[in-house]
């Protein structure tokens, strides 16, 4: 079946891109060949004077290239050749006899935007679904079909670098302001206006690709002369290197490709193709593409547990996606217990998805504070123009507050985010089940308490599970769905579907102390504390792990989470796993001193009145074990011990069936607390080092610090057999 159909309107041809069998339009090898044939057909048909390119998909113009085909490249030269082919095709589009109007509604991303940039005129709908972006850096790549060359000529150097180096979405109104699109229209008239502009192009009353960006003194100074451009490029390199710490080569390479374009078009395109090929074969791109496929695969999962060989079984409830879909409940009304930081965050993301929310707390002022926090989240989105004023008002109306259980009788799902105490949670479960319907689901946002313990207070334990959101809820992408051996498969599927509706990346994990993310994070944080016990400085430990690739250091993370919460969690882990998970003396001392971290403005670091982090609080060293003088510790030692104790624990979680697959373990670590994406996740990292090397390093460290670094049995077996968690070649998830 054809991906592009042609409809004639007198001298204007309307090209409708509607890729059969796919939810979005994307450029595969076959589509590119068909598209090239369509361009040739237009050039040969003398009766066609102009054309319109429009999408047949409801909310997508063109999503970009078919990433699956990237896996077929075995060398950088193949990727560079594919880039050069893209250049040739879009040069034909840009310079062909027939000018083409891009009629953009919905997502216009990557290769889709590069196509639009080559068109003679661009019209976009003024609609929330319409976004434009070049997100290739998120895959460790640069735009490969002329994006680094055409975008700077279209919107100027500064705006182009902002888009290319961040990969962020640009909404239609912003795209119009920077000159990326020529015209904004209502979706209902997009097609008609596009045909009208095509006729103007055919008649010559509208010139091809007219300059749409506003020329100011600033653009003339920085974009349009060599000295200004050199300054912008140099500053971009410095800022990029500071942010990436050298771990991500694509942004710096993109700057080089953009700069090359100012030395001639031919040189610019040649450099873009060369760099694209070089990056496509890099380890960083390989890991980022793995994460892309892993998150895409998770979106298709129903949440029903499977063992690693694909068969039903294990300690998790089993069933088929078809069976669970028949009884899946659509969540229309949500109850939230607790109007604190987590509860208000959950309420906000639910309302953003059109869910009616009833939020309860024990005191009116707490409810008011929670509603204020919800409003602040919406206000921030409004200020950033992520929502309209009407959407702001509508979403705010969806959230109500109460000090009793009024309104909870009709809730489809209730999430408790109350104090992390089992007695308190038992009380609210009993109170809830006295007022909610028999089919309602009860979820706990606990971060450490086993769900089965919480469900002891329930009359319907099969309808109780965990929904562990991460802080801040409206920013952190991961959601852990925690299930017990008693949880109904339909309840699991409903919770997973609801999490996806909220825009979360969802993994299903088996009930156990700490679940998965906090389980592997705890030994990592404890080991950081033990370096303080041995005399390392706070900033040395943090800086070592920043250099390893984490977004924040482990000591900073403790302050962010809250030292009181870390103290309670530490006791739970100590009880569950013994001395292997015992908190370091330094961590215990700071917790016992009553320091709370950032929220109390007193932790390992100092904080100002607004909670902004300053330097290490020198007085904290007086709390640490006496007799220990601070001295320099090699960063490599810190990185080795902290990373290995974490990945070893991740393997234990796989052994115990806490996670269903290495894929889920990698996604949980990357999206839950920022395991370096360019390393792929704990299991990908083990594959990179080799199981044998990991076991050898663990044994060497365990000889010095017995008990904490005993290699997981799975690692020992894999080292002996030369096995990997993922295939060395082919699809990254097979």
Any idea what the Cα angle at residue 629 is, between residues 626 and 632, rounded to 5°?
145
For residue 491, give Cα distances in angstroms to 443, 465, 698.
10, 8, 40
pLDDT in tens, 544-571: 999 999 999 999 999 998 888 888 888 8
Decide: 452 and 286 in contact? Cβ < 8 Å. Answer: no
Domains of the chain in start order, with CATH, are: 4-280 (3.90.226.10), 321-502 (3.40.50.720), 517-633 (1.10.1040.50)
Closest listed residue to residue 277, CA positions, set 446, 546, 81, 101:
81
- Structure tokens given for 215: 């020329």
Q: For 536-652, where are the E strands, in sequence order?
A: 605-607, 613-616
User: Residue 307: its pLDDT value, please?
Assistant: 36
Let me know: does 135 contact 147? Beta carbons within 8 Å.
no
- Asked if 505 and 298 count as a contact pair (C-beta separation under 8 A), the reply is yes
Spacing of C-alpha 395 from chain mean position: 23
Q: Which residues of the chain, if any, have pLDDT below 50?
A: 306-326
Q: Is the overall model pTM greater than 0.95, yes or no?
A: no
pLDDT at 566: 86
pLDDT value of residue 285: 95
621 DSSP assignment = G
Cβ contact 588:558 at 8 Å: no
Nearest CA to 357 out of 489, 445, 467, 367 is that of 367
Residue 432, pLDDT score: 94
* Residue 311: predicted pLDDT: 32
Q: What is the 3-state secondary structure (H, E, C) of 296-345?
A: HHHHHCCCCECCCCCCCCCCCCECCHHHHHHCCCCCCEEEEECCCHHHHH
Three-state SS at 125: strand
DSSP symbol at 625 = P
Task: Find, among 639, 659, 649, the residue nearest to 709 by Cα.
Answer: 649
CA distance 542 to 638: 9
Q: What is residue 573's DSSP assignment?
A: H
Give residue 235's pLDDT.
Answer: 94
**Residue 467 backbone phi and psi in degrees, to 5:** -125, 95
Token pair recorded at residue 499: 């999490």
Closest-CA residue to 20 (of 29, 33, 32, 31): 31
Query: How many Cβ atoms sit within 10 Å of the Cβ of residue 455?
Result: 25
Residue 599 Cα to chain centre, angstroms: 25
Q: Express each pLDDT in 311-325 by its tens digit.
A: 333 344 444 333 344
pLDDT at 672: 94
Tell me how far CA of residue 278 lies from CA of 220, 254, 269, 440, in angstroms: 34, 12, 14, 53
Token couple for 724 = 């990997």
The pLDDT assigned to 305 comes to 52
Q: What is the pLDDT of residue 326?
A: 40
DSSP assignment of 405-463, as one string? Answer: STTGGG-SEEEE---S-HHHHHHHHHHHHTTS-TT-EEEE--SSS-HHHHHTT-S-GGG
Proportion of the chain in helix, strand, coil states, percent, rounded to 5:
55, 15, 35
Nearest Cα to Cα of residue 542 among 622, 475, 620, 473 = 620
Scored b (16 or more CB within 10 A) or e, 146-173 reads bbbbbbbbbbbbbbbbebbbebebbbbe
* CA 348 to the chain's CA centroid: 19
Please, are residues 149 and 91 in contact by the beta-carbon 8 Å criterion?
A: no
Tell me if the bond preceding 472 is cis, omega within 30° of 0: yes
> Would you say how long the chain is, in residues?
734
Q: Give, for 55, the enclosing helix (H) or strand (E).
A: strand 50-55
Determine how many CB atoms are found less than 10 A away from the CB of residue 397.
Answer: 10
Distances (CA, A) of 155 to 150, 180, 417, 609: 9, 6, 46, 40
pLDDT at site 224: 75
Residue 34 a catalytic site member: no
Q: Which residues have C-beta within 8 Å of that of residue 33, sequence separation ≥ 6? A: none
Rounded Cα gap, residues 289 and 137, in angstroms? 11
Helix axes 691-704, 682-689, angle to 10 degrees: 100
**The residue to which tokens 């050199």 are assigned:** 230
Give, rounded to a whole angstrom, the gap between the first and last alpha carbons of the chain.
Answer: 29
- Going by C-alpha positions, the residue among 468, 479, 482 that lies closest to residue 502 is 479
Report the pLDDT value the prediction gives residue 730, as an integer from 0 to 100: 77
The three-state secondary structure class of 368 is: helix
Set 480, 579, 699, 723: catalytic member: 480
DSSP annotation of 104 reads E
pLDDT at 327: 58
């Amino acid at each position: 079946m054809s991906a592009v159909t042609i409809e004639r309107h007198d001298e204007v041809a309307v090209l409708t891109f509607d890729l059969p069998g796919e939810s979005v339009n994307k450029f595969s090898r076959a589509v590119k060949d068909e598209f090239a044939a369509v361009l040739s057909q237009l050039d040969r048909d003398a009766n066609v004077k102009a054309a319109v390119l429009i999408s047949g998909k409801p909310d997508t113009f063109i999503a970009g290239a078919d990433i699956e085909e990237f896996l077929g490249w075995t060398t950088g030269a193949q990727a560079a050749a594919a880039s050069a082919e893209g250049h040739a095709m879009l040069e034909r589009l840009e310079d062909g006899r027939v000018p083409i109007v891009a009629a953009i509604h919905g997502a216009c991303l990557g290769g889709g935007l590069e196509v639009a940039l080559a068109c003679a005129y661009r019209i976009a709908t003024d609609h929330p679904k319409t976004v434009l972006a070049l997100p290739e850096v998120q895959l460790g790549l640069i735009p490969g079909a002329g994006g680094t060359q055409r975008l700077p000529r279209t919107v100027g150097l500064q705006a182009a670098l902002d888009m290319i180096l961040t990969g962020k979405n640009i909404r239609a109104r912003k795209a119009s302001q920077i000159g990326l699109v020529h015209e904004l229209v209502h979706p209902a008239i997009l097609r008609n206006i596009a045909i009208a502009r095509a006729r103007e192009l055919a008649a010559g009353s509208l010139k091809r690709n007219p300059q749409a960006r506003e020329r100011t003194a600033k653009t003339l100074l920085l974009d349009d002369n060599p000295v200004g451009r050199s300054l912008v490029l140099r500053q971009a390199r410095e800022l990029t290197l500071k942010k990436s710490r050298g771990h991500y080569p694509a942004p710096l390479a993109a700057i080089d490709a953009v700069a090359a374009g100012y030395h001639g078009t031919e040189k610019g395109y040649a450099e873009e193709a060369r760099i694209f090929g070089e990056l496509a074969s890099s380890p960083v791109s390989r890991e980022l593409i793995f994460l892309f496929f892993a998150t895409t695969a998770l979106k298709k999962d129903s949440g029903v547990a499977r063992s690693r060989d694909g068969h039903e079984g294990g300690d998790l409830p089993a069933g088929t996606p078809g069976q669970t879909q028949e009884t899946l409940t659509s969540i229309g009304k949500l109850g939230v217990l607790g109007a604190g930081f987590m509860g208000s965050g959950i309420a906000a993301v639910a309302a953003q998805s059109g869910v009616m929310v009833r939020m309860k707390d024990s005191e009116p002022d707490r409810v008011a504070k929670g509603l204020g926090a919800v409003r602040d989240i919406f206000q921030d989105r409004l200020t950033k123009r992520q929502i309209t004023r009407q959407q702001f008002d509508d979403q705010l109306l969806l959230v109500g507050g109460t000090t009793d259980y009024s309104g909870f009788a009709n809730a489809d799902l209730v999430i408790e985010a109350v104090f992390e105490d089992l007695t308190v949670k038992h009380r609210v479960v009993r109170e809830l089940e006295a007022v909610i319907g028999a089919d309602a689901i009860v979820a706990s946002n606990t971060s450490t308490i086993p769900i089965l313990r919480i469900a002891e207070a329930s009359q319907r334990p099969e309808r109780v599970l965990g929904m562990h959101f991460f802080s801040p809820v409206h920013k952190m992408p991961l959601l852990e769905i925690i299930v017990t051996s008693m949880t109904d498969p339909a309840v699991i599927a409903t919770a997973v579907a609801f999490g996806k509706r909220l825009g979360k990346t969802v993994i299903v994990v088996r009930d156990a102390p700490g679940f998965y993310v906090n389980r592997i994070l705890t030994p990592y944080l404890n080991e950081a504390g033990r370096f303080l016990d041995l005399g390392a400085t706070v900033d040395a430990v943090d800086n070592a792990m920043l250099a390893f690739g984490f977004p924040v250091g482990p000591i900073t993370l403790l302050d962010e989470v809250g030292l009181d919460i870390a103290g309670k969690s530490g006791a739970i882990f100590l009880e569950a796993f013994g001395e292997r998970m015992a908190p370091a003396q330094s961590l215990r001392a700071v917790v016992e001193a009553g320091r709370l971290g950032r929220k109390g403005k007193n932790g390992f670091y100092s904080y100002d009145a607004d909670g902004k982090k300053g330097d290490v609080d020198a007085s904290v060293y007086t709390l640490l074990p006496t007799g220990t003088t601070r001295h320099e510790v090699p960063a490599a030692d810190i990185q080795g011990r902290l990373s290995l104790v974490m990945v070893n624990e991740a393997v234990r979680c796989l052994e115990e069936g806490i996670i269903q697959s290495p894929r889920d373990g990698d996604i949980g670590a990357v999206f839950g607390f920022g395991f370096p994406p360019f390393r792929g996740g704990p299991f990908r990292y083990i594959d990179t080092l080799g199981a044998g090397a990991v076991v050898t390093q663990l044994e060497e460290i365990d000889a010095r610090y017995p008990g904490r670094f005993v290699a997981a049995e799975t690692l020992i077996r894999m080292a002996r057999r030369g096995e990997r968690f993922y295939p060395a070649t082919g699809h990254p998830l097979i």
